Structure 1
Amino acid sequence: MTLPIANIPFINKRVKFPVTPHIPAGLTTPDQLRQIAAIAEKYGGSLKITGGGIVILGLSVADGEKALAELGAKPESFIAKAVRGVAVCPGKPHCPMARQDSTALGLALDAEFFGQPTPGKLRLGISGCPNCCAEVMVKDIGLYGTAEGFTVAVGGNAGRSAKIARVAAEGVPAGQIAPLVRSILAFYRDHGKDKERLGDTIGRVGWEEFLTAVFPPR
């Protein structure tokens, strides 16, 4: 397994680099945690718990590649122009506030979309209720559950140019979410400029144009 960062000269010159194994929806097992801890010890790294995963700090790029190969994990990327790991709240059956099964849907979306190329980085989050514990309103594509289905918000950004996402649809059944995400990504790929975030693309092209493209008249 080769890290995407391994072929970037300025990063290869760095002595150490954080390595983050992809843990879909942040759901892990005791065995995986023990394995990550053992790998960190083997290569002299330390561990940091992040919002949706565990970062092994202090490894060289070469050792990072070995670590990921031994873990059998895909790498998260801090720099890829691609769909990042899907952020998911605890959801059903673990949270009494959940109105929809965010966990099952989040895992399905992560399995299909993680790592797919996009004009700029794209963050996707899903929460089981309007409390939005997965911070979905600052994601490029954010979903939260209600009794009627999922509310879909787009164009959020928690980066240096922070933006609140705009609601595009409400009451969407879980089974219609993946096709909707495909349509949003198709619009983004068709219209997005290099390194442009989805919200900026929509703002430049136009909200109504976006809705017409993604939600064609029936």
Structure 2
Amino acid sequence: MTDHQAKLPLTPRLPAGLLTPVMLRKLAAIAEKYEGIIKIAGNSIVILGLHPEHRAQALGELGLDTQSLAGKAVRSTAVCAGQPHCPRALQDSTRLGLDLDTKFYGTELPGKLRIGVSGCPNGCSEIFVKDIGLYGTAGGYTIIAGGNSGRKAQAGRIVAERVPPAEVIPSIEKIIAYYQTYGQPGERLGQTIDRLGFEDFVACIGIN
């Protein structure tokens, strides 16, 4: 194994992509200490180029959990800037994104599942290419399902509109339960929906 091949990335878990200036400086200091490179990736910050022993030390010094970039489970929720930071935000996407992350992150599934939340229809969190996407409107949230930005990219489809914020998590629970029940190993949510039929999916989850 070459020196280049031995180096590993470290992706600290940062729910909703939020961190304080103090933590940002700490990340930079640790990357410098262990001769890593910092990369911004979506709602994550990745420290690249760490030796395996340095990776474990760096994680301990940060005092954070690491986010898995592999595995068949719910990944960290992607969230836009939202209220009160974005004047276009119609709903509190940050609060909802954190609640979704707390509730569902790490839930084992037939395949990986990404959730994105945007405070308005502009969709800064790429909600139409997430397995589950949500965007805020004046009347509540629009829920989208079945998107995928991977090798077999496809846009998700709207399954419910004007969903009150308090009903979003129960609605997402129904979608995830459907996927757990009917998804085949390695299959993304959109592939499960396509295989069984969009109308069947909508009828089964029963979101009004």
- Tell me the TM-score range normalised by the shorter chain: over 0.9
Once the two structures are TM-superposed, the CA of residue 60 in structure 1 deviates from its matched residue by 2.5
2:20 partner amino acid: T
Specify the alignment match of 2:100 in structure 1.
Answer: 109
Specify the alignment match of 1:31 in structure 2.
Answer: 22
Deviates more, 1:53-62 or 1:80-89: 53-62
| 8 Å Cα contact 2:160-2:207 kept in structure 1 | no
2:83 partner amino acid: K
TM-score between the two structures when normalised by the length of structure 1: 0.90
Specify the alignment match of 1:69 in structure 2.
Answer: 60
Verify: 1:92 aligned to 2:83, yes or no. yes
Specify the alignment match of 1:44 in structure 2.
Answer: 35
Q: Deviations over 1:34-63 (max 9, x none)?
A: 111122122221211222121101012332
Q: Secondary structure at the match of 2:6?
A: coil
Matches within 5 A, 1:174-189: 174-189=165-180
Note the residue ranges of structure 1 that are not aligned, 5 or more in a row: 1-9
1:125 partner amino acid: G
Note the residue ranges of structure 2 that are not aligned, 5 or more in a row: none
Partner residue of 1:170 out of 161, 171, 176 = 161
Specify the alignment match of 1:122 in structure 2.
Answer: 113
Specify the alignment match of 1:156 in structure 2.
Answer: 147
Specify the alignment match of 1:5 in structure 2.
Answer: none
Once the two structures are TM-superposed, the CA of residue 137 in structure 1 deviates from its matched residue by 0.4
Once the two structures are TM-superposed, the CA of residue 216 in structure 1 deviates from its matched residue by 6.7
Distance 2:60 2:111 in 1: 27
Q: Deviations over 1:62-111 (max 9, x none)?
A: 32222222222222222111111111000111111111110110111111
Partner residue of 2:187 out of 181, 185, 196 = 196
Distance 1:168 1:85 in 2: 22
Distance 1:153 1:111 in 2: 20
What is the alpha-carbon root mean square deviation over aligned residues?
1.7
Distance 1:161 1:169 in 2: 24
Q: Percent identical across equivalent pairs? A: 53
Q: Residues 14, 71 of structure 1: CA spacing in aligned structure 2 closer, same or farther, 3 A cutoff?
A: same
- Size of the aligned set, in residue pairs, is 206
Partner residue of 1:140 out of 131, 149, 161 = 131
Q: Residues 149, 78 of structure 1: CA spacing in aligned structure 2 closer, same or farther, 3 A cutoff?
A: same
Distance 1:81 1:107 in 2: 21
Distance 1:191 1:61 in 2: 38
Distance 2:103 2:50 in 1: 29
| 8 Å Cα contact 2:171-2:207 kept in structure 1 | no
